[in-house]
Structure formats: structure tokens, C-alpha cells
Structure 1
Amino acid sequence: MSRYLVLLIIILILAVIIVIIRPKAQAQPLIEETMATTQQRFTFQPLDQSLRNTLNAQESQVIINKGTERAFTGAYTDTEEEGTYYCRWCNSPLYSSQSKFHSGCGWPSFDDEIPNAVLRYPDADGSRTEIVCATCQGHLGHVFTGERFTEKNTRHCVNSISLVFRQETPVAEAVFAGGCFWGVEHLFEQKKGVYSAVSGYTGGTLADPTYQDVLTHTSGHLEAVKVYYNPLEVSYEDLAKFFFEIHDPTQTDGQGPDIGNQYLSAVFYRSRSEFDTAVRLIEILEAKGLKIATTLRGAAIFYPAEEYHQDYYVRKGSQPYCHAWVKRF
């Protein structure tokens, strides 16, 4: 075989290799470009003041001004009842009684938080780590490690005044809008870990809207569903994935045959964690070629719809006409 023929064969082999490899080399930049474009579409908004409870002077001093109540004076220092500890400022579930233990420090102590409920920041004193509610940023206390009180080797030292205790399993809230609320509510209520779902209106400018108000297309409200769930059984990410799979997130003018601004697709997030989760899921779907029309909006006051809208398909004994589960993740 002549050396020219050998050279020609080598060139052909290299050409084939380049053709095979080139798409793979270009795929990652294309995905990164899609993700960057997706992130630029959305802007995070902190929890609105209207969704936070009114605080008295003592509560404000600790929760807003980052004060500390005196040791051994808090209402929950030695409580042992089973239940859940919620944020006093925004009602988000923070700690389960299963993670509470006696440390002798003079404040309620927990060795773990409910997933994504607490954020950590370097404290102003330069040595400790502050913990705040992930939803409203209300001050809780400080977190310490290395003390070996429990196997998790972690102690959340929390001010009782930052908490509200209820003798119940954790109840978290999530709000989604995906067209007619009858179908969204019906499907969410079948999801494991969900206590209940409520049809209602949110995101508009009119207080206490009725169904007839929303039908005028002038109130700005979307038909939405508030989902009450146990965050120890099902994560917000699982709920958000389910939301994107039970309706068409690419439709821009409504959902199925229901056309109008009250039927638009939207996620109403309460925390940065929920916002980031929704953005990440949209990035995944758009990297698969879907053009997502869903908007991300800061949580607003939710108004339950009239009683005849609740559990509509259960009462009628029928199934959703414009919602169905489609595997997308």
C-alpha cells in the first residue's frame, strides 16, 4: 500500500471522528446558553409584607432586629409534646418535635430542620452562624456543631419567641396556577404527601374577588390552587415537577380550551428555595426543547374560591377535561 493511500485513509478516519465528536462538544454550550437565558427571564421577589404576621415590640426585637430572649424564659425551652414548630412571622414549618432535645442551654434546641426551612449566615460577631427562616428571613437564633449532644452533632439554638408550636404534623403550603383550578386541585389531592388542595384566586389587584369578578379579565387574578402538604413526606421539588406534568406549561393563552388571563400558567413561590427550584425545572424542560410559558411570581394573598368550586370532580363523579399527567422528568 502506498504511503499516499495510507495518508488518505488516516485523513478519512480523522474526518469521521470530527463529525462524531463535534455535536457532543457543542451540546454543553447550547445547554448552558439555554440555562442563562432562562435565568434572565425571572427576578426573585422576597415574601411580601402582606403575607407576614404582625409582630409586637418584643417579637420584633428578636425576629427583625436579631435580638436574643433571656435564657430559660422562653415558652418552648422544655416542651416535650409531639408536633411542629412554625415561624411566628410567616407560619412556615421549621422544626419537627422529633428533632428537639434537651441541651441545658436555656433555649429550645433542635438537631435538624425541616428540609429547606432554615438558612445559615455568618453572624455579625464574626464567630457564630446565624439561622433565619428561609421564607421570611426572620431571625431564629444560631446553629452550633461539635458539641455531640446527638448523633447529628448539630444544635439549632432557637428563640422561643420566634416560634409557634402546634400539636400536628408539619403543614407547608404551595400555590400553583395551571388553567381551570378544578383539574389542578383534583390531581394534586391524589398526590402522596398532600393533605388537601383548595381552589382559589391569587395574583390580582382586587380584594376578595368572586368568580364573576375574575371572569371579567380585569381583576388580574389567576385561577390557582393552594396545596397543603407534609414536607417530611413530599418535597416542594416533587410537587413542582408534578405541576409541570399535569398541565401544558408551553401554552401561552390559557390551558386547553380555557382561554384567558385567568387560566395562565404560574408558580407562586414563597421563598428563594422555591424560586430556585422552579427555575431549575424550567431549565431542564427547555433544555429538552420545550418553550415554557409558565411565569414565576412572588406569593400573593390567596382567596379561596366559592364552595361550589371545591372538590368539583369528586362531587360530579367525573374526570378533568383539560388536565392529564404526562411524564416530563
Structure 2
Amino acid sequence: MKKELLNELNPYEEFVIIKKGTERPFTGKYDDFYEKGTYICRRCGLPLYESKSKFKSDCGWPSFDEEIPGAVKRQLDADGKRIEITCAYCGAHLGHVFEGEGYTPKNVRHCVNSVSMEFVPEREKVRRNRAFFAAGCFWGSEYMFKKYKGVLDTRVGYMGGKVKNPSYDQVCTGITGHYETVEIIYDNTSVSYEDLVKFFFEIHDFSQFDGQGPDIGEQYKSVIFYTNEEQRQIAESVKKSLIQKGRIVATQIKRASDFWLAEDYHQNYYEKTGKVPYCHFRREVF
């Protein structure tokens, strides 16, 4: 993560968000709060939960039964018993997740500290957002996206499979179901999701079904992973426009899932090595 994207925290916020403290029950501003909108991370500003997933549990803290795909990371708590939830981008402590309580049909409760979040009303635009694209080798696709207007940060990793925290060697077998994926953190006020989708189509061969260029295999296929209904509709619309132009489009459109960061040596690979992509370059499509 880029430190310049992190907000300053007051001592109490730091106690909860960094030192993994807990605010007192029934004191948080979002405990008994049910306006329509989006809950974002207090530390980095990225979306965490949509208001439609919030429910009344009377536990003393805001409760959600579903996170925005790719937004929340689970890990064993220091007590060795509970499952801690953190912001998947900046690692901010959110709270804990519990299953099997029966509050909603999804049978999951994200118990979140109010101080770990900020609320953006439905009528306002969330300033920072994320997008996930698989366009062949993630070295090259990251290299291209890093240079695009409005992109604040990028990270490469694996999405779409069933194996938790896969290694590069595991993904390369082609049997884990993961795709080499780039996470794009972008400024929603200076670049639109539609702009990013169109750029995605212009930097790789979206007509190739078996991989990308010389990289053949399931992990190199073309995929757009959407995190909400708006992103899905935009991706479908852009894909449809290409088909209407007579283009062959192999790109799949899938709901985002857990994003597993790739090993450190894969991050910013071409910047580290001084090389340039061998199968990614911009083609005029739109």
C-alpha cells in the first residue's frame, strides 16, 4: 500500500485501527444507523460495506452480513479463537466476523467498530474505489495500468480460485482456478470505471481464449471481476459494444472474490527489473 493514501488518525482511532482495540458497545455513531450509502475504510477511504448488507443485531456494534467483494481480509485473531477482519488494502482493524448465529439468511455477522469506518451517503460519489482485471501476465498489465490517469496504486495477485492464499507455483499448475489479476486503486473523480474497462480491452488481446500471447493456460485468461452491480453493468455494456462491432471477445465477466496478493518479487516487476512488457501494449479499439 502507498502510505500517501492513508489518512491521519487521532489517538483513539489509532488505538482501534492500528493497535486493534475495541470501542465500547453501543457508543459508535453507526451502531443504530441505517441510511442508504457506502461504508468506507477510515484509514484509506476504500469501500468496505454497502448499506443493504447492514442489519440490526443489538450486539452493540454495526453488523453486516456481507462485505464488498475483495474489500475485507480474514485472519486468525491474536487470541487464537476469533476471526479478525481487516481492510484488505491498508490492513486497518475493523473487528471480527462470526458465523452460525442465524441473524440473517447468510448466517454471517461482521461485527465492526464504527470508528474504523466513514459513511458516504447514496447521493454522493465515493472518491476512491478499486477494480480487478485479469489480462494475461500480471507483470505487463500492472505496468500499463500504473501509467493511466487517475490510477493511485496497483497490486498484483490471484483471484477466482478456491485455494486459499495460493502460491505462484500452485497457480501456474492451472488447477487452482485462479487468474493472474491486477488490483487497481483509482480516483473516482478523475477517471471512471468505464474508462478503466475500455483501457483494459485496449492493452491486451481480448479475442484470445486460451491465455494471452505466448502465455497459455487458465491463469492467463481475460477476465473482468466486478465488485458491485454498477461495475457489472458497465463491463457488460462495453463488452457488448465490441461484439456489435464484429469483434470476437473471449473476456469473461465474473463477480470478484478474495484477492490474494502475489509474492513480493511480482509487485512492480518491470520497475524492479528495468524491462518492458513483451505482450502488453495499447491498441486503439474505441
Same fold (TM over 0.5): yes
- 2:283: which partner in 1? 326
- 1:86: which partner in 2? 40
- 1:8: which partner in 2? none
Distance 1:302 1:326, change over 3 A: same
Q: Distance in 1 between matches of 2:175 and 2:201?
A: 26
1:164 is aligned to 2:117: yes
Q: Distance in 1 between matches of 2:166 and 2:117?
A: 30
CA contact (8 A) 2:170 2:176 kept: yes
CA contact (8 A) 1:198 1:225 kept: yes
- 2:261: which partner in 1? 304
Distance 1:232 1:58, change over 3 A: farther
Q: After superposition, where does 1:282-293 map in structure 2 within 5 Å?
A: 282-293=239-250
Distance 1:256 1:315, change over 3 A: same
Q: After superposition, where does 1:160-199 map in structure 2 within 5 Å?
A: 164-165=117-118, 170-199=127-156
User: SS at the partner of 1:244?
Assistant: helix
Q: Distance in 1 between matches of 2:142 and 2:234?
A: 21
Give the residue type in structure 2 aligned to 1:259. I
Q: Distance in 2 between matches of 1:161 and 1:301?
A: 23
Gaps of 5+ in 2: 1-23, 53-66, 70-112, 120-125
Distance 1:237 1:135, change over 3 A: farther
1:222 is aligned to 2:179: yes
Distance 1:316 1:85, change over 3 A: same
What whole-Å deviation, never above 9, does each CA across 1:244-297 have from its counterpart, x for those lacking one? 110111100000000000000000100000000000001111111111110011
Give the residue type in structure 2 aligned to 1:182. W
Q: After superposition, where does 1:78-157 map in structure 2 within 5 Å?
A: 86=40, 92-93=46-47
C-alpha deviation, 1:196, in angstroms:
1.4
Q: Distance in 2 between matches of 1:173 and 1:183?
A: 19
CA contact (8 A) 1:201 1:221 kept: yes
**Larger strand fraction of residues:** 2
C-alpha deviation, 1:135, in angstroms:
5.6
C-alpha deviation, 1:170, in angstroms:
3.7
What whole-Å deviation, never above 9, does each CA across 1:69-88 have from its counterpart, x for those lacking one? 7xxxxxxxxxxxxxx97279
C-alpha deviation, 1:172, in angstroms:
1.2
Distance 1:283 1:207, change over 3 A: same
| Equivalent pairs, count | 195
1:294 is aligned to 2:246: no
CA contact (8 A) 2:178 2:219 kept: yes
Q: Distance in 1 between matches of 2:258 and 2:39?
A: 23
C-alpha deviation, 1:162, in angstroms:
10
Moved runs in structure 1, 4+ residues, more than 4 A?
A: 56-59, 91-94, 160-163
- 1:242: which partner in 2? 199
- 1:18: which partner in 2? none
Question: TM-score normalized by structure 2?
Answer: 0.60
**Larger helix fraction of residues:** 1
Gaps of 5+ in 1: 1-55, 70-83, 95-116, 120-133, 137-159
Q: Distance in 1 between matches of 2:178 and 2:25?
A: 35
RMSD of Structure 2 on Structure 1 (CA) = 3.5
User: SS at the partner of 2:156?
Assistant: strand
- 1:147: which partner in 2? none
Give the residue type in structure 2 aligned to 1:199. V
User: SS at the partner of 2:165?
Assistant: coil
C-alpha deviation, 1:171, in angstroms:
2.8
Give the residue type in structure 2 aligned to 1:292. V
In percent, how many aligned pairs have the same letter?
Answer: 42
User: SS at the partner of 2:231?
Assistant: helix
C-alpha deviation, 1:165, in angstroms:
3.2
CA contact (8 A) 1:222 1:262 kept: yes
Distance 1:68 1:267, change over 3 A: same
User: SS at the partner of 2:155?
Assistant: strand
